[in-house]
Structure 1
Amino acid sequence: MTLQRRLMLAFAAFTLVVAALFGLFAMAFTYVVEDGFIEQLLHREATRLRAEHVRDGRWPAPVNTPMPMQVHEQAATLPAEVAATLADEPGRREVPGAEGRHYHLLPLVREGQPPWLLAEVSSQLIVRPMRAELLRWLAGWGLAVVSLAGLLGWWLARRVSRPLARLSEHMRAARPQALPRLPGGEPSDEIGDMTRSLDALLGRTRDFIAREQSFSRDASHELRTPLAVLRIGLDRLHTQADAAQRRELLPLQTSVRLMEQTVATLLMLAREPATAPVAPTPILPLVEDWVLAHAAALDARALHIDCQLGPADALALPAPVLQLVLASLLANALTHGQAGGCITIGWQGGSLSLRNPGAGDAGAGSGLGLGIVQRLLAQHGGTLAFEQAGGQTEARIELDRP
């Protein structure tokens, strides 16, 4: 339900409750005034009757009253409907009768005991004959007031919700690459203050994004270019060197490649992850590319690769992400694995595992920080877990299933 509709309903409901409450108060007030007038006449006549009874020792008949009154010295002389009511409720003062009659009863000596001064007051009733008309009048005015409150609520809701709706439209259309400037001219109230504060925050966010984008562009150019030159130079030296020199150049070549992976991964983490579904990327070609690129390093440590992957084994990760994750984990196994061992790459139940013989902390130290790899996987809905058992270190990559 929209804010505008909630405000209108709240105004209408509150007004309806208030109108109904004051209508009940008005009806109760008229009944009290009417009954008070009748009771005043009864008490005035009862005072006269008691005075004459004290003087003469008898109860005289009421005289000169605007409504019929009688003194009943015993219950048997009362109208049947009044007597039946007093039999059940001796303290009753008001009794409705048949055919529009209505009685007021006042004990002259003792409560609930004869004699009674009885008055048939139907000719004096003002509220009861016009009760239906009075209720219709109250209902009509109540409906008019509720309608007026609904119009007031609609006007106020539009005045309040219009800037909020405009703000919501601008924020809904906002993109990180192009944050909007919020419309000015808002009223000087809480909504206007919020709009201006949010616009200032968006301005700072735009500046922050611009700085981050500039940094990413500069870092991409200023870091990748010298690393590429260094790698090409080392590769050229490697082709011209003898066996002993190649062994000396191998750590430098490995370090340069790991630095390139680090820079690529950090730049990838700086980008916003894609929200569209990602097509699965085959794993086997990426493993083969890495093995070919690091064949010399693998031979130097006498490490073997046991690849148990099939052509159809794939992970729903972007190819650059999966390539960086594999390169980091294989470089970690290459660096910390036991010389002369075997790196086993397997696929089971939709998860990729890399297992190699080696000691040490699986999560500490590698060509590319494993904390960065975990962040990169988490950004794309994946997890990285390590397990050590029987002298084997196993890294397992799994994706969250919907």
Structure 2
Amino acid sequence: MRRRHSLRIRVSIAFAALGAVLSLLFALGIWVAAHDVSQRLMDETLSAEMADYKARRARNPESLPPATASLRGYLVQPGTAAAGLPAPIADLPPGRHELLLDGIPYRVAVEEVAGERYVLLFDETRQQRRERRFLVYLAAGVAFITIFATLGGVWLAGQVIAPVTELAEAVLRADPDKPPRLGRAADPGDEIDRLANAFDHYLARLAAFVERERAFAADASHELRTPLAVIRGAVEVLSDDPGLDEARRERIARIERAAAEMSELTDALLLLARERNAPVDTPCDAGPLAARCVERYRPLAAARGTHLQLEVAEAVLLPVPPALFAIVVANLVHNAVAHTRNGRVLVTLDRRQLVVADSGSGIPGEDLDRVFDRHFRGPDSLGAGIGLSLVKRVCERVGWQITLDSPPMQGTTATLGFGS
């Protein structure tokens, strides 16, 4: 996606562009008008000098053509050639012409009266030098106006954007529990007030949503924990019955494992529903907790002919709630065991990471980037597609990194990095 500049910069650029365009158009208009006036003045000067010379010649036929620093005149009588008349001028028709002689620009006036040709040459060097100097002044004016428009745009953008910036900062500081009043509901004034009122409405809805979430979490905590405690208590009582045979004890053990999973899942979901900055009372002793999760899936691994092994290199204390770590380990181990038959699952734990490596069927390359999506199920999956998405949510919540490596037909390695 193309990166967009801030609104302040865009307004400043717009003002600078507007100032540059308007000043250029204004300067162009002045230049065209000034050049036209200059041409008219030269033509009027030539006309006046031409009329004066013809009048003097009417009074005195021996009168000489004008000859000054910027004006030269010639008289061409029938059948003769004027002395010193440049060759390019001899064939010019009557009227006004532009001519360059020896690198000098001239404005030429040619008239014919009674067979006589009157020619006047006006040297435009000074006039063009003045026009170039005037053009420099115009360019400086354009640059000054552009700079002034830019500075004005920066200042004006700051004044216009300031209420929006203040509103954005107020929204960022807003507490969902106690949303502030940002706008004026009774008298919504300008667009900023209307935007603030819209934010007020949104924050009020957000506060109501947060309150509903907390109420649901509290109700779920009570309504789910109580029956789970009853189930686990009943399992303990049944397990103490000496008359149970091995098959019934195995069924009771499965009920106990399912109740433990439900309890951990409930705790994890309730923790995820809380605020992110909720403090952790005691750190999680990861080693024993990982061992309990591994032991829970050992019967499933044995039933699939898979060897499940845990290696803990050192004591690991994590600053996270135990329920979150347990739900991550349980899901990773369960996925590894469920996709491995007559193979091996190795779980290793140290202070840097938890690694769950299996020798199972692996994950197809086209599915590897989607396994953490909610409700995504692989071709051999029997679950609802929530386990790994829940793992991803927990990792995002506590700042862990989860990666999967699955070479074709070589199993899968899940690496849970604890970061710093």
CA offset digits 1:230-253 (Å, max 9, x no partner): 212321332244332534422321
Which residue matches 1:306?
Answer: 309
How much has 1:150 moved relative to structure 2?
6.8
1:182 and 2:185 are equivalent in the alignment: no
Counterpart residue type for residue 414 of structure 2: R
Which residue matches 2:216?
Answer: 215
Q: How does 1:10-89 map to 2 (within 5 A)?
A: 10-11=14-15, 14-40=18-44, 42=46, 70-73=73-76, 74=81, 76-78=83-85, 83=86
- Structure 1 residue runs without a partner (length 5+): none
TM-score by length of 1: 0.65
Q: How does 1:108-257 map to 2 (within 5 A)?
A: 108=111, 115=117, 117-120=119-122, 153=153, 156-174=156-174, 179-184=179-184, 188-244=189-245, 245-257=248-260
Residues in 2 aligned to 1:291 and 1:366: alpha-carbon distance in whole angstroms: 22
Select between 293-302 and 321-330 the one with higher mean Cα deviation.
293-302
C-alpha contact 1:31 1:127 (8 A) present in aligned 2: no
Counterpart residue type for residue 161 of structure 2: S
Counterpart residue type for residue 324 of structure 1: I
Residues in 2 aligned to 1:132 and 1:323: alpha-carbon distance in whole angstroms: 83
224 and 372 in structure 1: CA distance in 2 versus 1, 3 angstrom threshold: same
Which residue matches 2:368?
Answer: none
Counterpart residue type for residue 25 of structure 1: G
How much has 1:170 moved relative to structure 2?
1.0
Which residue matches 2:98?
Answer: 93
Residues in 2 aligned to 1:311 and 1:231: alpha-carbon distance in whole angstroms: 32
154 and 314 in structure 1: CA distance in 2 versus 1, 3 angstrom threshold: closer
Residues in 2 aligned to 1:227 and 1:120: alpha-carbon distance in whole angstroms: 111
CA offset digits 1:287-340 (Å, max 9, x no partner): 23345678899999998643233116788976432222223344567788769x
Secondary structure of 1:93's counterpart equals: strand
Select between 312-321 and 302-311 the one with higher mean Cα deviation.
312-321
Which residue matches 2:401?
Answer: 382
Residues in 2 aligned to 1:195 and 1:274: alpha-carbon distance in whole angstroms: 27
Select between 374-383 and 206-215 the one with higher mean Cα deviation.
374-383
C-alpha contact 2:355 2:415 (8 A) present in aligned 1: yes
How much has 1:164 moved relative to structure 2?
0.8
How much has 1:350 moved relative to structure 2?
5.1
- Structure 2 residue runs without a partner (length 5+): 363-377
399 and 177 in structure 1: CA distance in 2 versus 1, 3 angstrom threshold: farther
Counterpart residue type for residue 220 of structure 2: A
Counterpart residue type for residue 170 of structure 2: H
CA offset digits 1:35-91 (Å, max 9, x no partner): 2243256468879999xx9xxxx999779xxx977334357525xxxx59979x999
363 and 401 in structure 1: CA distance in 2 versus 1, 3 angstrom threshold: farther
127 and 26 in structure 1: CA distance in 2 versus 1, 3 angstrom threshold: farther
How much has 1:352 moved relative to structure 2?
0.5
CA offset digits 1:205-235 (Å, max 9, x no partner): 2222221122122212221122123212321
Aligned with 1:327 (options 330, 337, 347): 330
178 and 75 in structure 1: CA distance in 2 versus 1, 3 angstrom threshold: farther
Which residue matches 2:369?
Answer: none
Residues in 2 aligned to 1:86 and 1:400: alpha-carbon distance in whole angstroms: 95
Residues in 2 aligned to 1:370 and 1:136: alpha-carbon distance in whole angstroms: 72
Q: Percent identity?
A: 27
C-alpha contact 1:364 1:370 (8 A) present in aligned 2: no
Counterpart residue type for residue 19 of structure 2: T
Secondary structure of 2:240's counterpart equals: helix
CA offset digits 1:339-394 (Å, max 9, x no partner): 9x87532469955115378999764339984443354345544336486988x965
1:372 and 2:390 are equivalent in the alignment: yes
TM-score by length of 2: 0.63
Residues in 1 aligned to 2:325 and 2:408: alpha-carbon distance in whole angstroms: 26
Residues in 1 aligned to 2:20 and 2:217: alpha-carbon distance in whole angstroms: 62
Residues in 2 aligned to 1:292 and 1:350: alpha-carbon distance in whole angstroms: 20
Which residue matches 2:372?
Answer: none
C-alpha contact 1:174 1:180 (8 A) present in aligned 2: yes
Residues in 2 aligned to 1:395 and 1:173: alpha-carbon distance in whole angstroms: 42
108 and 303 in structure 1: CA distance in 2 versus 1, 3 angstrom threshold: closer
Secondary structure of 1:308's counterpart equals: strand
Q: How does 1:228-307 map to 2 (within 5 A)?
A: 228-244=229-245, 245-271=248-274, 283-290=286-293, 305-307=308-310
How much has 1:167 moved relative to structure 2?
0.9
